[in-house]
Amino acid sequence: MTQAVYDTPQEHMGMPLPTPKVAMWLFLVTEIMFFTALIGTYIVLRHGTPAQSPFKWPTPHQVHLIEWIGALNTFVLICSSFTVVLAHHAAVKADMKKATLYVALTLALGTVFLVIKAYEYNSKFEHDILPGHIGESRLPDPKLGEPTIALDTPRAIEREKHEHAVGMQYFHRVQLQLEAIKKSSLDAEIQKECNTLLDEMTAPTAAEGQAVVFHRPPSPAEVGTRVNEILEKAEAKGITLHLTPAIPFGNLWASCYFAMTGFHALHVFGGIVVFALILLMALIGRLGPQHATMLELIGLYWHFVDIVWIFLFPLLYLV
């Protein structure tokens, strides 16, 4: 007599997901908290500016952000997310030739993103839109009950240096830039205006034995107003001047911009390094269908990088 024996299936304790995928999701959770803090801080600072102030948060035009360049970078990252999905799909189907091709495309698109971002960073350096460099001093507004500060005596100038050090730093920075512009060849009208401003900012020197006549220099706020006027005329003529503009809340904006986009660019670079290693594995014949899970995990990371930029793009370029 034959008797059927049924073994009780063994039960295994553990997560319903593979350990590598759990580790990746935990890592992404920490990254989400990190970028949430950065973006949340930017939103709070932007909407925390004084409501009664006549000055508003910098517009994209003021800080030389070009909307279509940001949109192009967004499109590039979205395309790279699509190609990394295709790479994983090809690896699951054991078509490693296509998987390698799509990984290479993803690597190329990520590199294009960083090249465009480097171009934008270079524009910020050319226009000196950097944290701590931008002039934020302004002329007092009598309507708001603000006292007028006149630099009409040497003593007042010394007081201004001590009480408004940031404004005086901006004053001297612009002075050095104007001295460099004076030695270069530019449009005659722009050159004349730069030289006139430099003469007003520079105290006259007296020959030995002659009395020194006090010369009232413009205040940092007045310098910022004049610099902005010169920059507008130069921009209308297609001339790029290395002059630091005066932008209300500009230093705060620049700090937020470089913090958010800089950390995002580092994450993009990290993904590019991993894709380069995967391509190296393919070149030496070490990449196979068994690495489909690895491609899925790097794909999850890459999608996260893409989503972060989708939040940064409208916040910085459109609003």
| Structural domain boundaries in the chain | 19-44+59-132+250-318, 142-236
Per the model's pLDDT, the better-predicted residue between 4 and 179 turns out to be 179
Place of tokens 């009395």: 211
Which pLDDT does position 231 carry in this prediction?
84
pLDDT at residue 58 above 90? Answer: no
- β partners of residue 246: 135
The rounded distance, in Å, linking the Cα atoms of 295 and 103 is: 9
b/e sequence 37-66, b meaning 16+ C-beta within 10 Å: ebbeebeeebeeeeeeeeeebbeeebbebe
pLDDT at 148: 47
Residue in 295, 288, 277, 137 with CA at minimum distance from that of residue 218 = 137
CA–CA separation, 29 and 292 (whole Å)? 23
Average pLDDT of the residues of the chain: 82
> ∠ at Cα 242 (240, 244), nearest 5°?
120
pLDDT at 146: 47
End-to-end CA distance of the chain, in Å? 82
* Cα-based torsion angle of the residue sequence 315, 317, 318, 319 in order, rounded to the nearest 10 degrees: 50
Region 182-196: mean pLDDT is: 81
Q: What is the mean pLDDT of residues 149-169?
A: 55
One of 1.20.120.80, 2.40.50.140, 2.60.40.10, 3.40.50.1820 is the CATH number of 19-44+59-132+250-318, namely 1.20.120.80
Is the pLDDT confidence value at 69 over 90?
yes
The confidence score (pLDDT) of residue 306 equals 95
